Structure 1
Amino acid sequence: MNVHAPGSPGATGDSGLTVRDLVVGYGPVAALRGVSLRVPRGAVVAVLGGNGAGKSTLLRAISGTLRFHRGGIASGDVTFDGERISGVEPSGVVARGVVQVPEGRRIFARMTVEENLRAGALGVRDRGANARARERVLGLFPILAERSRQRAGLMSGGEQQMLAIGRALMAAPRLLLLDEPTLGLAPIMAARIAETIQEINAQGTSVLLVEQNVATALALASHAYVLEVGEVALSGAARDLAGDDEVRRRYLGIGPDADGGASAPGTPDAPGTPDVPAERRTLTRWSA
């Protein structure tokens, strides 16, 4: 398995997003400790980890919204296409092409669908770009056109998630930060959201995805990082992580510890390292 050492971005170059040695705290509490990662231009990259691992904090640090949660960056930096964005105001981060869809959707419930979409384009002064973004959003989510005059708070959870993503796309981002986009949704709606993320990426938008449905995240992403207690415990190709015994046991509920010592039928064993057999290998800082 091609696994990068914790703390290493695993790639070089200025294209795309680079987070390097990021240390973030809420007062005296350290939430991220030396986190590094990369999202190459045009890629979908997933961030995995349990509750409290620091996933949402990471997205807030990138989007510049940490201070709204009484947090701050102690050291390290974030760059996008070679330009430093850590320390930049959220509006400036959006203007540079990085937009976050927060966990819980956070739509404006008393405003109409159309008003929510307009709010997403407040910083866009080019009318042509605004019209193209709107056309793109309504092409991805036709129901938003049908419900344009409806109050957003009266929509279903899945429809509100569509609106939250659509509102973010109105700013024409080059990188979309998605925080738990399928959380609390029915399986059929979660599948539709996942398909839409694929389409958004196919249209040229990079995606950094935090997703509680690990199987979905690894299916969408080309690369993934595992956070544990504010640190990168593991990173590698998504297909390799999906086949790793420890990831499968902890997040997918299958593997040696989950079913009495046998892998799921039809599932190949995770590849071992040259020195350690696969059945004995454990991931960094995940030893029992």
Structure 2
Amino acid sequence: MNGDQVIGIDLGGTGIKLARFDRSGQRLAEQRIATPQPAVPGAVCMALCEAIEQLDPDHLAGVVGIGLPGPMDAAARVARVCINLPGWLDVPLADWLEPRLQRRVTLANDGNCALVGEAWLGAARGCSDVVLLTLGTGVGGGVMLNGSLFTGHHGAAAEPGLIGLNPDGPPCNSGNRGSLEQYASIAALRRLWDGDPEELNHLANAGDSEAMAVWARYGRTLGVGISSLVYLFTPQRVLLGGGLAAAAVHFLPAVRAEVETRVQAVSREGLEILACQLGNGAGRLGAARLAIDRLLGKDASLQTG
């Protein structure tokens, strides 16, 4: 077993992305599988075991980091709740996986993983204060303040996708109504346009005016939510990741314009709003980095640039 290799996993509502890395963050192998439907804990656990064995049949990696859409316990071994996955309440996923995999396992919020990945090798390098949003099946995210992840009381922060935008808006699985997630997720985009987001992106790339107008409308609403986050954290950068960020070129202008309109100049001084540099790979890279830090004893600041 090679202690210099690590597996990072990004577990989403529709897909699971896995990769094997060395300690420098170089990707050595990768795999993607569909998330079992329904994504109940037992089915996901079995799918993870099979995928990990396929990715690393020779057990070159001795540790595994997994990013999940929700908060973990303080020991990073129990998924406290994943609101968009059925049956995920206090699931001891690390305890389930370790004896099956014969590898050590650590868990983290998927938004935090994406932020750690971007801070290590992506668009947050050299920054001390960053807010990141993942735009996909849900809207997750992470916050870095003074070079460290902000996780709040009992590790449950930050969930920027669950802030409220409209008290009378669509119900959220969190119990909130009109949360940012209800206006910035894939399901929210489909309420604006009845079709696949990738198709909408292709249409906008081809100059279709209707598609471009849909993305602009999406961006304006996303900008309202980001404006509140900027007032709270006054970050150097806001990064947008997840599947919908592939179309960032079409909605970022509207996001930036909305933030400039709503946020006073002193609170957005020097602010950059950008797509994640690592794309959909940020989550699994960050999960791997957290596994290195927690399980292989490498202690380093997130500010690496």
TM norm structure 1: 0.29
- Between Structure 1 and Structure 2, the one with more helix by share is 2
TM norm structure 2: 0.28
Structure with bigger gyration radius = 1
